[in-house]
Copies of this chain bind each other. A is one copy, B any other.
Amino acid sequence: MKLKTIFNILFLALLTVLTVWTVFVEPRPAAGPDAIGVIMTRTSIRRYEPRPVEPGKVDTLLRAAMAAPSAGNKQPWAFVVLTDTALTDSIARHIGPARPLKGAPLAIVVCADTTRTFAGPAHDFWVQDASAATENMLLAAHAMGLGAVWLGVYPMAERTRFVGRLLGLPESVLPLGIVAVGYPAESPAPKDKWRPEAVHANRW
C-alpha cells in the first residue's frame, strides 16, 4: 500500500470522527436562547399575529410563573387563561391601557388568592409574589418567540372590580394584572434603560 493511500485513509478517518463528534457527541449549550440575553432584550409587544399560541407554550408560561419565589413560599398566585375573545375584547373596551388585548390570541390574568397569603402586616407581600410570577411569564414568552405585555389592574379599584366581576373571581381573589400574549406582529427595539445614577454604593 502506498504511503499516500495510508495518508488518505487516515485523513478520511479523522474527518469522519470529527464530523460524528461535532454533530452528535460534543456537549452543546441548551437549545433555548440564553437567559441574560432574554432578560436584556425583552420588550413590551402590543400587536400579535392572529394564530393561536400552542397549548405546550401556554403550559410553559404557567410553569414559569409558578417557579417564581414567594414570601414564606406561600405561592398565593392563581391564573385565568383567556382564549375567549369576547372576554379579552370586553376588557380592552373597558380599560384604556388594556387595548393590546383587542386582537391578542391569548391573555393570562395573574391573580392572588388572598386566602393563601399571610395575615397581618406581611399580607401585602402577595403583590410582590404575583409580580415575580408575572415577570417570569414575560421572560418565558420572549424566550419562546412570543411577544407579551404586562397590563396593570390592581391597585386601580375600578379595573380590579371590573375584571373580578367579568371573570367571576371570588371576593378573596384579586387580579394583579393581565399578560397579553401572541406571536409578535411588531418588532420594537428594546429600550436602553440603564441609569448609572440609580446605583448607590453602601449608602445613599
Contact = CB atoms under 8 A, between A and B. Distances in A.
Contact of A35 (B32, B124, B134, B152): B32
A44 B71 CA distance: 11
Contacts of A156: 121-122
B33 A202 contact: no
Contact of A32 (B34, B79, B193): B34
Contact of A80 (B31, B83, B200): B200
Contact of A202 (B68, B77, B82, B194): B82
Nearest to A177: B128
A28 interface: yes
How many copies of the chain does the oligomer comprise? 2
Contacts of A204: 80, 167-170, 173
A80 B124 CA distance: 23
Nearest to A125: B152
A187 interface: no
B84 A69 contact: no
Contacts of A71: 152
Nearest to A75: B193
